[in-house]
Amino acid sequence: EAQVTQNPRYLITVTGKKLTVTCSQNMNHEYMSWYRQDPGLGLRQIYYSMNVEVTDKGDVPEGYKVSRKEKRNFPLILESPSPNQTSLYFCASSLYSGTGIYEQYFGPGTRLTVT
């Protein structure tokens, strides 16, 4: 089954404790992206990657890091989480060609609470 998986689905942590949210896709997609969803703000892009070792900032990258060492995986790293990073996080993937991305496939989400 074609899918995007995220782990963990739920996480409660404390300020400053480094964490990683994993994302994996089995569709051989070139493009992957991280979004955060907040009430009244919709989805905002954090980082994206157009292929292995190619990453770039989205609209709200502060406080986050990513890496793309393998095509299927795109982990999101919070080196020193703060309460304002409490949010619902989604990973997405898409085919990518010369005309850009196609429709995106989303993971189930990770609800992060930072106290």
Partner 1 sequence: GNSVTQMEGPVTLSEEAFLTINCTYTATGYPSLFWYVQYPGEGLQLLLKATKADDKGSNKGFEATYRKETTSFHLEKGSVQVSDSAVYFCALKDSNYKLTFGKGTLLTVNP
Nearer Cβ to partner 1 (2/14): 2
The site string for partner 1 over 6-45 (x = CB under 8 A, - otherwise) reads: -------------------------x-x------xxxx-x
The site string for partner 1 over 68-107 (x = CB under 8 A, - otherwise) reads: ----------------------x-x---x--xxx-xxxxx
The site string for partner 1 over 48-67 (x = CB under 8 A, - otherwise) reads: x-x-----x-x---------
Nearest to 29 by CA among 90, 70, 72: 72
Residues listed for the chain: 115
Nearer Cβ to partner 1 (23/114): 23
Nearer Cβ to partner 1 (63/109): 109
The Cα 66–Cα 52 span in angstroms is 12
Q: Quick one: 52 exposed, middle or buried, by C-beta within 10 A (0-12, 13-18, 19+)?
A: middle
The angle formed by the CA atoms of residues 49, 74 and 23, to the nearest 5 degrees, is 135
